[in-house]
A and B are shown apart, each in its own frame.
Chain A
Amino acid sequence: MELVNPGIGLIFWMALSFGLLLFILGKFVWPPVMRALHEREKNIELALHEADKAREEMKQLLFTNEIMMLEAKDERDKLIGEARVIKESLIEEARLKAGEEANRMIENARERIHFEKMAAITELKNQIANLSIEIAEKVIRRELSDPVRQEEIVRNSLNEINLN
């Protein structure tokens, strides 16, 4: 019966075809396919892993951000505080310095005034002396003629000078 009585020809052609198919597919098709599948799986796994890592990092980053922000806030507060202290001390110092300077200037001015006054007084005195001498000269010159007159002249001269 043909049904269970295989023909040699069919067996030969089948073996040839299937052997060739095994060879061709096994050489040109399955290796790249399997490699591509494997690589894609690896990539997907890697991508998932990386996404996980990224998420973790993000969390970490957010956390550090918050900490940094808090630190920055603290820092700012501290800086502001310090600035305020510095400002106050600066103002205080400036005020003190200004006061001192003013005092010094006042003192200077006072000394100068005193000095100028002395100089003026000295000059005055010199002038008075000169005038006195001039007067005395005049007086002496007139004295010779009229004593009353001399006295009058002295008095007038003195009046004329008048410490101004």
Chain B
Amino acid sequence: MGKFYLVFLLYFLSFPAVFSAGNPQGKNSGEETTEHAEEFNAGVMIIDHIIDSYEWHIATIGHTHISIPLPVILFDQGKLHVFSSSRFHHGNDAYKGFKIETAQGANRGKIVKVKEGTTETDPEVSKPLDFSITKNVVGVFVSFIVLLLVFFSVAKAYKRNAGHAPKGIQSILEPLILFIRDEIAKPSIGHSYEKFMPFLLTMFFFIFFTNLIGLIPIFPGGANVTGNIGVTMVLALFTFFMTSFSANKSYWLHIFNTPGVPWWLKFPIPLFPIIEITGAVVKPFVLMIRLFANITAGHIIVLGFMSLIFVFAKISPGLGYGVSLVSVFFAIFISLLELLVAFIQAYVFTLLSALYFGMATEEHSHAEDHH
């Protein structure tokens, strides 16, 4: 603890030096700082970092953007356009009649059509169908490849030392696999759990690995994949369809003709079926929102702490340095928390999916007793 205070003290004692050293150029860079300061908007910066993008931005040094351009694939009026996103020059240019919308609004950051020969958005025509390999798509591919590499090696390990104690990466993942089987699938689904194991395992490890990769700040990590509502929507839809397709008769009976409910609640106004159907739809919807919100929130908080440094630096560089210590400390703390959240959200998503499967395949021997 004493050491910590010493470092702290040294840190603050060095400020006057930073000030004096910084001052000669202060005038010079001061203008730039104010210029940048006016540009810096914490909210916009944060949103730009967590939403999808057509290029994988790595760093900006001075005015040079270091980023990996990604392919843009567009369907527009029956025609296919494929080109590199570097054609947009980081969103400054239009290409082939398309540009990335920079104005605030519903389309910000998406590709829109421009008026012939200009870089102005054409609000008249509809947006092109956008199948671009965006940052998040690459993020999904990264997770995809990592999962395949990891689990093929694990499967090989299981074949190689069959009947022996697990080794290496196999021994790290085996407790998780057993955890999903024994703590999630078996209690939630019951005797028919084996049918759902591949789905639950894939779901859990996809979310868990993607969450973890999302916490790595540089390429190929850092894409806010599980914090994207499109991704979580697909995951939730998989759960929804899996539930619906594996559901037995009594599940549908409960939805459309709930036993033990007075008939006038079902006819002529089908009040109960409506409630039940809403319930069936809300379940995956909640899954979608929960994962999206949790992961996005984590990213927003870390970025928020980072923004604080720049917000305070705008007031005074010294204050910026001071705040950076606190910010970095909190950012580390939140990042550690996010490690936990990465696991918890994967667990919750898988557990709830398993519970829904359990409900869908449950045998209602005493149907009349329910409700």
Q: Which residues of B contact A24 (CB under 8 A)?
A: 148
Task: Answer whether A10 and B231 are a contact pair too, CB < 8 Å, given A20-B144, A22-B238.
Answer: yes
Task: Answer whether A2 and B131 are a contact pair too, CB < 8 Å, given A9-B73, A14-B234, A29-B154.
Answer: no
B308 interfacial by beta-carbon distance below 8 Å: no
Q: Which residues of B contact A12 (CB under 8 A)?
A: 131
A91 interfacial by beta-carbon distance below 8 Å: no
The reply to whether B233 and A33 contact each other, CB–CB distance below 8 Å, is no
Minimum CB–CB distance from A42 to chain B (whole Å) comes to 10
Of B9-17, B135-143, B259-267, B350-358, which stretch is located at the interface?
Answer: B135-143
Total interface residues on B, CB under 8 Å, equals 52
The reply to whether A13 and B133 contact each other, CB–CB distance below 8 Å, is yes
B8 interfacial by beta-carbon distance below 8 Å: no
A58 interfacial by beta-carbon distance below 8 Å: no
Hey, what's the 0/1 contact readout for A49-62 against B, CB within 8 Å counting as 1?
00000000000000
Of B27-35, B89-97, B156-164, B318-326, which stretch is located at the interface?
Answer: B156-164
Hey, what's the 0/1 contact readout for A33-46 against B, CB within 8 Å counting as 1?
11011011001000
Hey, what's the 0/1 contact readout for B165-209 against A, CB within 8 Å counting as 1?
000000000100110010000000000001001110110001000
The reply to whether A25 and B198 contact each other, CB–CB distance below 8 Å, is yes
Contact among A6, A30, A37, A40 with B229 in the assembled complex (CB-CB below 8 Å): A6
**Distance, CA A12 to CA B162, complexed state (A):** 38
B18 interfacial by beta-carbon distance below 8 Å: no
Hey, what's the 0/1 contact readout for A73-105 against B, CB within 8 Å counting as 1?
000000000000000000000000000000000
**Distance, CA A19 to CA B198, complexed state (A):** 12
Which of A3, A10, A25 has most chain B Cβ within 10 Å? A10
**Distance, CA A26 to CA B196, complexed state (A):** 10
The reply to whether B137 and A13 contact each other, CB–CB distance below 8 Å, is yes
Q: Which residues of B contact A3 (CB under 8 A)?
A: 47, 50-51, 229, 296
In the complex formed, the residue of B with least CB distance to A20 is: B144
A-B contact count (CB 8 A): 128
Task: Answer whether A2 and B52 are a contact pair too, CB < 8 Å, given A21-B144, A25-B198, A30-B198.
Answer: yes
Task: Answer whether A29 and B238 are a contact pair too, CB < 8 Å, given A6-B228, A20-B144, A21-B148.
Answer: no
The reply to whether B155 and A28 contact each other, CB–CB distance below 8 Å, is yes
The reply to whether A17 and B158 contact each other, CB–CB distance below 8 Å, is no
**Distance, CA A20 to CA B163, complexed state (A):** 30
The reply to whether B178 and A7 contact each other, CB–CB distance below 8 Å, is no
Q: Which residues of B contact A37 (CB under 8 A)?
A: 158, 174, 177-178, 181
**Distance, CA A22 to CA B296, complexed state (A):** 25
B147 interfacial by beta-carbon distance below 8 Å: yes
Minimum CB–CB distance from A31 to chain B (whole Å) comes to 8
Contact among A13, A22, A43 with B131 in the assembled complex (CB-CB below 8 Å): A13
The reply to whether B230 and A14 contact each other, CB–CB distance below 8 Å, is yes
Q: Which secondary structure characterizes the binding site on chain B?
A: helix
Hey, what's the 0/1 contact readout for B64-78 against A, CB within 8 Å counting as 1?
000000000100000
The reply to whether B137 and A14 contact each other, CB–CB distance below 8 Å, is yes
In the complex formed, the residue of B with least CB distance to A28 is: B155
Contact among B130, B148, B198 with A9 in the assembled complex (CB-CB below 8 Å): B130
Q: Which residues of B contact A32 (CB under 8 A)?
A: 155, 158-159
B235 interfacial by beta-carbon distance below 8 Å: yes
Minimum CB–CB distance from A39 to chain B (whole Å) comes to 7
B152 interfacial by beta-carbon distance below 8 Å: yes
The reply to whether B137 and A22 contact each other, CB–CB distance below 8 Å, is no
A15 interfacial by beta-carbon distance below 8 Å: yes
Task: Answer whether A18 and B110 are a contact pair too, CB < 8 Å, given A2-B51, A26-B198, A29-B154.
Answer: no
Q: Which residues of A contact B132 (CB under 8 A)?
A: 9
The reply to whether B231 and A14 contact each other, CB–CB distance below 8 Å, is yes
Minimum CB–CB distance from B171 to chain A (whole Å) comes to 12
B106 interfacial by beta-carbon distance below 8 Å: yes
The reply to whether A10 and B202 contact each other, CB–CB distance below 8 Å, is no
A interface residues (Cβ-Cβ under 8 A, vs B): 1-15, 17-22, 24-26, 28-34, 36-37, 39-40, 43
B interface residues (Cβ-Cβ under 8 A, vs A): 47, 50-52, 73, 106, 108-110, 129-134, 136-137, 140-141, 144, 147-148, 151-152, 154-155, 158-159, 162-164, 174, 177-178, 181, 194, 197-199, 201-202, 206, 228-231, 233-235, 237-238, 296
Q: List 11 A-B contacts (CB under 8 A).
A: A1-B108, A2-B106, A5-B106, A7-B52, A9-B132, A10-B52, A11-B230, A14-B140, A21-B147, A24-B148, A25-B202
By Cβ-Cβ distance, the 4 closest A-B pairs, closest first, are A6-B230, A26-B198, A36-B158, A10-B230
Q: A4-B229, A33-B155, A37-B178 are in contact. List 17 more A-B contacts (CB 8 A).
A: A3-B50, A3-B296, A7-B110, A9-B132, A9-B137, A13-B141, A18-B235, A26-B199, A28-B152, A29-B151, A29-B154, A30-B201, A32-B155, A36-B158, A37-B181, A39-B162, A39-B163
